[in-house]
Amino acid sequence: MTQDTNALLTSLIEGYNFPGESLELGVALIGGKPEPTAPIRLPLKMLNRHGLVAGATGTGKTVTLHLMAEQLSKAGVPVFLADIKGDLSGLVQAGEGSEKLTARLAEMGKEFSPRANPVEFLSLGEGAHGTPVRASVDAFGPILLARVLELNETQEECLQLIFHYADSNNLPLDDLNDVKAVISFLVSEEGAEALKGIGGVTAATASVILRGITIMQSQGLDQFFGQPEFDTADFLQVREGSGVINVLELPSVNQQPMLFSTFLMWLLADLFEDLPEVGDLDKPKLVFFLDEAHLLFKDATKAFTDAIINTVRLIRSKGVGLFFITQSPTDLPDQVLGQLGNRIQHAVRVFTAKDQSALKQIIKTFPANGVDLQEALTQAGVGEAVITVLSENGAPTPVAWTKMSSPGSNIGPASPEVLEENMKASPLAARYATAVDRESAREMLEAKTAEASAPAPAEAQQQEAPAEAQRSEAPRQRQAPAQPNPMMDMAMDAASMIGRELLRGMFGNRKRRRRW
């Protein structure tokens, strides 16, 4: 070795020698050869400083996710990741060694060790091998729903007013039919006064929102909304010392990428609202991988982008680590990119002047330490990456051109038999498999309209109605004192409305009672 390569090797050995628990990512490449004495690690306690896995298609990002998820599980850290291409299900099945794999690992001073991981398979909608993940429209919130419907800022504000009206009048929004019912009521003659009270929604804007919802329903995408609602606390399972890997199956992402990315953001927002503050831990409570991260910011309104930035900034104190997965760091806003201290950059392909400009920007985000970044980023082979992470004292480590290690589970889809057996054993399937259609806004408004149009006097109707119906339709009457007090009623209504508004989080999503 030359003096320069010796100095580089020494700096890498010292820079990645962490006393605490770490993920083993691979070994440094020095002069094009793997150097077993220079393992490249990522400290568990720094995972809540978030990270980025980037690189062109076919450079090894998916295997890197596989490797990281498996090691996190082994360390007792639950994981969430999305399976867009359907090839992460192999995490549940032990892999088989091969002559090529054995030789590759031997170069790195490692041996192949097969491992099957505890995995919960989830699905947006009715997946073949996944427990359905649903959210009520109420919990999803107006900002995220506006994103899915691709509304502009004015239309988004109108949707927030509609949610406000539903909140204030105890109208649960479980599915898209509930939203349609509330909008239809507000633009009807009967709802004219209520509409004025919330600031007004024009007929044209209401039509745009209704049309967007109808299109979603016609495409079968309304199955993601409803009851029972998935509780993100179920992501935090640990079984026999191993963190459960939650793999979300996305069979229709190509048809509706906006819904996919926004639904992932809802899951993250729900975690943010529910998790308690814990500060810095020796290892995170959960690591959340946001795949196809560029979709989050495509044509996003300012409110949506600001909410993402704030979530990224604040969620680390709740023990959650985020990794954004995308082809290029330039896909992300600077405010987000600046908070991603751990970088795993696979090869960058440069074919155009725009690609060359992007490469220059990427190079500027890495510290300089003697590695030729232009060569490393453009010449890295499949299964290689340029890495810098945050050390346990918060300083960036030297840049390492790294030969990535290999997971012990099966790379690629698991066998159908293994998937079926895993699904049968899932503790979540019994809770979430069957959809529930409870009484919500649509049924309540239909009942209200029917009551208003009925010829019988209101008092007679109330006497004839079952006691249970009276309780569900008029809870405040049941609790009212014998002698009405208008001032007290106004104060109670105001306090109730304020309380409901405080239950909405950063994305306008509905908060739930904590289970922690």
Count Cβ neighbours within 10 Å for each residue of 328-363 and write b for 16 or more, e otherwise: bbbbbeeebbebbbbbbbbbbbbeeeeeeebbeebb
Q: Which residue is it, tokens 């150097």?
A: 35
pLDDT given for residue 506 in this prediction: 63
- Cα angle value 480/486/491 (rounded, 5°): 85
Taking only the tens place, the pLDDT of each residue in 157-201 is: 899 999 999 998 999 999 999 999 999 998 888 888 887 777 777
- Scored b (16 or more CB within 10 A) or e, 87-101 reads ebbbbbbebeeeeee
What is the percentage of the chain residues whose pLDDT exceeds 70?
85
Q: Which residues pair with 122 in a beta bridge?
A: 131, 248
Q: How buried is residue 75: exposed, middle or buried, by Cβ count under 10 Å (0-12/13-18/19+)?
A: middle
Q: How confident is the model at residue 39 (pLDDT cuts 50, 70, 90)?
A: very high
pLDDT in tens, 198-207: 777 788 898 8
The CATH number given to 3-134+227-414 is 3.40.50.300
Q: In the structure, what pLDDT confidence band is assigned to residue 259 with cuts at 50, 70 and 90?
A: confident
- Local confidence band at 457 (pLDDT 50, 70, 90 cut-offs): low
Other C-beta atoms closer than 10 Å to the C-beta of 470 total 15
* pLDDT computed for residue 258 by the predictor: 73
**Burial level of 294, CB count in 10 A (0-12/13-18/19+)?**
middle
**Band of the pLDDT at 511, cuts 50, 70, 90?**
low
CA distance 275 to 121: 22
DSSP classification of residue 514 = -
Each residue's pLDDT tens digit, 126-159: 656 789 899 999 988 898 899 888 898 889 989 9
Cα separation, 231 vs 133, in Å, equals 9
Q: What is the mean pLDDT of residues 379-405?
A: 95
Confidence of residue 76 (pLDDT cuts 50, 70, 90): very high
Read off the DSSP letter of residue 230: P
| Residue 45 to residue 42: CA distance in whole angstroms | 9
How are beta strands 342-345 and 384-388 bridged, if at all? antiparallel
**Which residue, 367, 306, 356, 368, is CA-closest to 328?**
356
Token code pair at residue 53 = 């896995």
Q: How far apart are CA 90 and CA 411, in angstroms?
A: 6
Q: What is the pLDDT of residue 365?
A: 85
pLDDT of the residue at 20: 92
Q: What is the pLDDT of residue 515?
A: 39
Confidence grade of residue 121 (pLDDT, cut at 50, 70, 90)? very high
Whole-angstrom distance, CA of residue 280 vs CA of residue 430: 35
Residues paired with 243 in a beta bridge: 238
CB atoms within 10 A of CB 285: 21
pLDDT at 166: 92
Q: Over the stretch 465-489, which tens digit does the pLDDT of each residue have? A: 454 444 344 333 333 333 444 333 3
pLDDT, tens digit, for every residue of 234-250? Answer: 999 999 999 999 999 87
Mean pLDDT of the chain: 84
Q: Is residue 495's pLDDT more than 70? A: no
Rg (CA), the chain: 26
Confidence tier at 255 by pLDDT (50, 70, 90): low
Which single residue is written with the structure tokens 């945050």?
390
